[in-house]
Structure 1
Amino acid sequence: MAFSGSKFSTAQLWAGFLAGMIFLSVVVVSLLRGRFGQPGPDGDDVMRLVQVRDLLAGQGWFDLHQYRLGPDGGTLMHWSRIPDIPIILLTGLFDLFLPQDMALAWAISVWPPISMLILLGGLLLAVRNIGDGKLLVFTFIVGLFILLGHFRFLAGSIDHHNLQLGFLAVAVGAALDRQAGSRNMVLSAIMLALSVAVGIELYPFVAVLCAFHAVDWAWRGAEIRNGTVAFGSALAGAIAICFFATVPQAAWGTVYCDALSIISFLSLAIGGGGLALCAAFLSGRGRVVRFAGLVAVGAACGVLFMFQGPQCLGNPLDVLTPDMREIWFDSIIEARPMFDQPGGRRPFVAYAMGPSLVALGVSIYGLVRRRDVRTDLMFALLQALALVLMMYQTRFYVFGSLLAIIPCAAWARDAFDAGRREGGQRAGYLLPLVLSNPTLWALPVMLVLPSPAPAIGEERSCLSDETRAALESVPPGMILSDANIGAILLEETPHSVMYANYHRDIAGISASLEAFSLPPDQVPALLEKNQIDYILFCPNAGENTTFQQIQPDGFLARLTAGEVPTWLKPVRPGPENNSSGRLYRVIPQN
């Protein structure tokens, strides 16, 4: 939709001011937290930095092994190289006038705030396709509530989630074009293909958006023929480029359900190409024929999964043993279901779900009133999916909050217009703004159920100066420690770690949990088998309490109780700080 006139010019100024505040908020918060040159607090940010450093040090583009993680030569990571690209490019730019280490520090500091511009561009695109100047202003007001100082865009937050949010915003913004113009459809398809290539978190949203475009064409036919052909062709072409540019030739025939592989490549290529062919040749036929064409394309994709990757139709966590799921995976808070959060995080549940519930209600109400069926249906489907996924894993709330911005802004715009028409209740638009603010959802819960004071991070307390000095004083070797500091040890030291919070390290996770559970006298044989040189004990690690409860006579529980076995020798005298890590050398038993 094109805009003109002084009113929209004023709206553009206000929207630009609000967008600038959103962008500046992540810059200011980053500076206040003093994170310049450091990876974010999330272990995935730290591991991303390790991966980038390995690439800069000469590891191959197609080689995604983390050779210092896990036993037997390391672990093949499921991550994509695509999020590494902007960091590498910025490092190369800064390297022209800075040492490489400093250039990399600048790159990981400036890239996350810059990536916020992709998301803001997606919101602007959405408004241009469905709204007017008032919607533009309200979009960035609601966006300010939800995106202010967003943790995924702070300096050092270099994992792939910032790109995923940006890709989703642009894909949805382009998909909102009611006329399904070719340029918007191509842009949406490219963003969806990149989303699949970057990580599996967006796979369900990609599936819904692809199905939406397909059904939209089957219903409307020749009216959107060109746009649908462009969408399907671009989807197939973009995923092919991503596949051949990031997947090594040796893995072209291997099925991975947790990363871009032959199964995800072929499903999008067949689905996109099939949709393009249907639109090209069946657009002039009746709806029954068009829907039959879609059924044929869907059947082809179904056959592909049945014969090529049936395991990808199940729960991706089925590869984990029951012990790994109960002891290790369930301890990862963001991987827990939304209503399975620790008691002190009840305000977070309200914060995370509030805007999505409002947006879903607004979209369903719009469908009932037949206000803008296409737009409301798209957001209703996406929000319903986001809420379902939150029930599976908490981490999906960030996508639901992002998708809530446009519906909540549309409600505020409609309330504003209604107040103007009726000559009263001109402040009626404040209610939608209040209900779209996640902080105001959390506030009542905080008053009723006060949250405990935040404790110092386990990682920071364990890796004290004394512990770091002990780690530097010994030759590089394999360390068995708590999973939450595994990535930090890889980033800050030359040592290897037995396990960290990465599900592909099945052998390392399994061996570590077994060592923690066994009686102390049976552990040395397992350590020798896995060539473990050191034990780093973190007094505040959550695993300590877990094993005290489930295996009170096991090695970790006894070590937590202060019983150091004779086959462990302290590298240095115990630190004065009770929360500091204790590094022990494993004494060979032969």
Structure 2
Amino acid sequence: MTRERLWPVVLAGWALAAAVLVLVSARAIAHLWFPDPDDAMRLAQVRDWLGGQSWWDVSQRRLWDGHFAMHWSRLVDLPLALMMVLLDPVFGQALSTRITATTVPLLTLLAVMALGAELTRRLSGMEQAKSAVLLAPLSVPLLYQLRPLRIDHHGWQIAFALLAVVALVGRPDRRSGAVMGLALAVLLTISLEGLPVTAAILGVAMLAGALVPARREQALVAIWTLAGLTLLLHVATRGPAMFSPACDAIAPAWIAALAIAAIGSTVPMLPYRMPLIVRLVMLAAAGGAALATLAAISPQCLRGPFAGLDPFVRRFWYENVAEGLPVWKQVPSWAAMTVGFPITGLIGGVLAWRASTGEARIRWTMLLALAASTFALSLLVIRTGATANALALPGGAWALHAMLTRARAVRMLPKRIAATAGALLAATPGLAAAALFGFAPAATVRGAPSAALTRPPCDGLHEIADLAALPTARLFAPVDITPQILATTTHSAIAGGYHRNLAAIERAMATFMADPATAHRWVLESGASYVVGCPGPNETEMYKQFAPNGFWARLERGDTFPWLRPVVIRNSPVLVWKVVR
């Protein structure tokens, strides 16, 4: 019998999802209306690299004093840069940018759908894999990270986490171990945000190796591949800065900890007779030794990259970055969209585990451990929710297939239709939440009720491109619109929301909330030629809420100052003032 192929189903499902996403996003694509400031900054980073900035230099030269430090990896820049190099000569830079910013996220969506379907096929079978193809583009958190213009690193994190899990539940041999280690090494190099997910996947692989002798070779190859490739990728992407300490990106301390973990895990994974308790104790000791190594080399890293934030920056910047906050600090609708499908996936996974035996039950056990881990992580840090939704696909697909099978057995047509609709609704609770409560991925600013707008608001910040009408200069701008300024104009600015530059963030935000005399002094010190802002977004509304008589609040309501001369950009809601020296 000819084995049915999965890829035609994946391609058909992806093509339909991609077409819908492009149609829905057409206006945003036309105006480069990025979903998040990080996407605009990613575009600026790639263009700077193509413009001659070193592969090893990811600092932002157009911010602060020209050495605005960034912790990002160049790996995510590669597919974007490749498409731009190929398309710029054919379509011109403006159209090439839009094609690239649309195509790359959709290709990442294809990778996630294919990997999710393959993961489901390995656990359940072809019919459930087809259900996974249907469910993936119905997950709101997945779509948010994989839609057009979402060119930052989160989509690739999901894809490589899925690749590692697909390898984990596959044939337990050297090849799958190498693929797992490679995927995790890329995941960590892209961003250290992937460390908790990496630890969970590696931990499950090690526990499975301790319990099941046939899985020890896979686990051992995985951890050594991870350690070795992480070192190689670090050298390749950091170059002369490879020895610099860091808590927010791969650095020598993290590499040393991985090496110690690999060394310590070798003996308990060897195929010798050994009591299970001894293997488990040795694995725990290897983990403890890795933590001790990190503590000895970079003890500050145990507190996390945000431990040193001063109270001002923590209150007005960090606590308003929605993706880093727990689920209980999110807009209720977005919280429901994020956790709904993982719960369905866990329920379906448990039912599938109960119905399975032998090797299939081992695979479901590993998947359930990872699905539960990422679900717990998503409660603490909402950005993990997309990965949790991806790992919920096998359980959700099993549950949907089971419900649809029962629905098809109903004889009466009205009842069968109702049962089918109920099955789809139960399998996609996040989509139901989006329909009921609306799509609102960002946390609202906390504090006093928002003051009434006194000027026409900016609509999604794409109007920031109107600033290109000004002569190239340094702009004193709010933190959240600065990446859009860099991506769509030739201007420089003061600060973006990137935590290695706390002094710049504090100066920019404090200036807009300061009294006008203090703001005057700080603007002059910055060397800015213009002060700019956008009525309406959360950041400028926050300035009005917490400083109703501060610099921005007075500017927006029309107060004048002798050192600022209003500049009107025709048909634009962006507010601009020329600094008079």
Place the TM-score, normalised by the shorter chain, in its bin: 0.7 to 0.9
Please provide the CA RMSD for this pair: 3.5
Larger mean CA deviation between 519-528 and 59-68 belongs to 519-528
Map 1:179-578 onto structure 2 (within 5 A).
Answer: 179-221=171-213, 223-249=214-240, 251-276=241-266, 278-279=268-269, 281=270, 283-341=272-330, 345-364=331-350, 373-414=361-402, 433-442=424-433, 445-446=436-437, 459-460=458-459, 464=463, 468=466, 472-477=469-474, 479-572=475-568
Residue aligning to 2:43: 49
Q: CA deviation at 1:430?
A: 6.8
Q: CA deviation at 1:102?
A: 4.9
Aligned equivalent of 1:62, options 50, 56, 62: 56
Cα 1:358/1:458, change in 2 over 3 Å: farther
Cα 1:571/1:142, change in 2 over 3 Å: closer
Larger mean CA deviation between 187-196 and 420-429 belongs to 420-429
CA contact (8 A) 1:283 1:290 kept: no
Q: CA deviation at 1:555?
A: 1.8
Within 2, Cα distance between the matches of 1:266 and 1:530? 40
Residue aligning to 2:448: none
CA deviations 1:324-376 (Å, max 9, x no partner) are: 122122333333432323xxx43333222211112223345566777655334
Q: Which runs of 5+ in 1 are unaligned?
A: none
CA contact (8 A) 2:10 2:114 kept: no
Within 1, Cα distance between the matches of 2:456 and 2:481? 11
Within 2, Cα distance between the matches of 1:292 and 1:461? 54
Q: CA deviation at 1:457?
A: 11
Within 1, Cα distance between the matches of 2:555 and 2:75? 42
Aligned residues: 561
CA deviations 1:37-73 (Å, max 9, x no partner) are: 947332111111101111111100000110112x232
Within 2, Cα distance between the matches of 1:286 and 1:336? 42
Structure 1 residue 146 corresponds to structure 2 residue 130: no
Within 1, Cα distance between the matches of 2:51 and 2:69? 18
CA contact (8 A) 1:480 1:498 kept: yes
Within 1, Cα distance between the matches of 2:403 and 2:462? 53
CA contact (8 A) 1:116 1:153 kept: yes
Within 2, Cα distance between the matches of 1:444 and 1:306? 47
Residue aligning to 1:33: 25
Amino acid at match of 1:48: R
Structure 1 counterpart SS, 2:150: coil
Within 2, Cα distance between the matches of 1:538 and 1:85? 32
Larger mean CA deviation between 281-290 and 187-196 belongs to 281-290
Structure 2 counterpart SS, 1:496: coil
Q: Which runs of 5+ in 2 are unaligned?
A: 445-452
CA contact (8 A) 1:255 1:308 kept: no
Structure 1 residue 22 corresponds to structure 2 residue 14: yes
Within 2, Cα distance between the matches of 1:272 and 1:508? 40
Aligned equivalent of 2:105, options 87, 109, 112: 112
Residue aligning to 2:449: none
Cα 1:405/1:321, change in 2 over 3 Å: same
CA contact (8 A) 1:360 1:379 kept: no
CA contact (8 A) 1:498 1:508 kept: yes
Within 2, Cα distance between the matches of 1:137 and 1:234? 32
Amino acid at match of 2:363: T
CA contact (8 A) 2:13 2:133 kept: no
CA contact (8 A) 2:535 2:541 kept: no
Structure 2 counterpart SS, 1:318: coil
Structure 1 counterpart SS, 2:562: coil
Cα 1:89/1:295, change in 2 over 3 Å: same
Structure 1 counterpart SS, 2:559: coil
Within 1, Cα distance between the matches of 2:101 and 2:148? 7
Larger mean CA deviation between 487-496 and 372-381 belongs to 372-381
CA contact (8 A) 1:498 1:512 kept: yes
CA deviations 1:220-264 (Å, max 9, x no partner) are: 23x223323322222122212211111122x32322222222233
Within 2, Cα distance between the matches of 1:224 and 1:526? 61
CA contact (8 A) 2:473 2:492 kept: yes
Within 2, Cα distance between the matches of 1:520 and 1:527? 10
Structure 1 counterpart SS, 2:250: coil
CA contact (8 A) 1:412 1:430 kept: no
Within 2, Cα distance between the matches of 1:514 and 1:408? 47
Structure 2 counterpart SS, 1:319: coil
Q: CA deviation at 1:175?
A: 1.1
Q: CA deviation at 1:219?
A: 1.6
Within 2, Cα distance between the matches of 1:348 and 1:482? 25
CA contact (8 A) 2:400 2:427 kept: no
Structure 2 counterpart SS, 1:75: coil
Within 1, Cα distance between the matches of 2:480 and 2:537? 8
